Chains A and B, each alone.
Chain A
Amino acid sequence: DAGVTQSPTHLIKTRGQQVTLRCSPKSGHDTVSWYQQALGQGPQFIFQYYEEEERQRGNFPDRFSGHQFPNYSSELNVNALLLGDSALYLCASSLGGLDNTEAFFGQGTRLTVV
């Protein structure tokens, strides 16, 4: 049973460019959440997708957008990259009930903006 998989594992982009990160949830999970983890910090919630819609959003600008596909996989898009967007981006999957609180994380995509 594959866990949460993310691609790519590493990425280097230039300031101002756009980037797309991908996540496949654990088998049977229908909810995907994205987190940003800056160096030396704890992960910060970006947004969550359930039934192909953004259900909840953290305190991130509109440059951060996402999408969920019918197979529950998800993409995170970041436009107009800033140096401060350099971080580890983690995807977590879970079951969709609002009272379900166990999330499984992928290994993350390390994004470096130069």
Chain B
Amino acid sequence: AQKVTQAQTEISVVEKEDVTLDCVYETRDTTYYLFWYKQPPSGELVFLIRRNSFDEQNEISGRYSWNFQKSTSSFNFTITASQVVDSAVYFCALISDQTGANNLFFGTGTRLTVIP
């Protein structure tokens, strides 16, 4: 069965520190997609990134970077020089044939608090 584990329930950092959010996944499928979403207090989920299982290149977008390692089934997310606006709950999610097309299977989330 598929599984997405975000072992860090809550993280607090001081502004300008770097922080890494961990995500470990399980799936029997060889083709799958991994996602990160941000959920601010307003409630909506904001799409951050999608990665397919055949693309292990790391990606950087501004202060955000993602490290995808199939060997360890991990898809970690790093925020560099954190800001107060980064405070939110972050979800890692998976789509595969097991979950069904377009059916996002989410982890339990990591609540990030950035202290000014």
Contact = CB atoms under 8 A, between A and B. Distances in A.
A contact residues, range: 20 to 34
A31 to B, nearest CB: 7
Given A42-B91, A56-B100, A56-B102, A105 B45 contact: yes
Contacts of B105: 45
Contacts of A33: 102-104
A83 to B, nearest CB: 21
A2 interface: no
A107 interface: yes
Contacts, number: 68
Interface string B24-42: 0000000001010100001
A58 interface: yes
Interface string A24-37: 00000001010100
B108 A101 contact: no
Interface of B: 4, 33, 35, 37, 42-47, 50, 91, 93, 95, 99-109
Interface of A: 4, 31, 33, 35, 40-45, 48, 56, 58, 88, 90, 92, 94, 98-108, 110
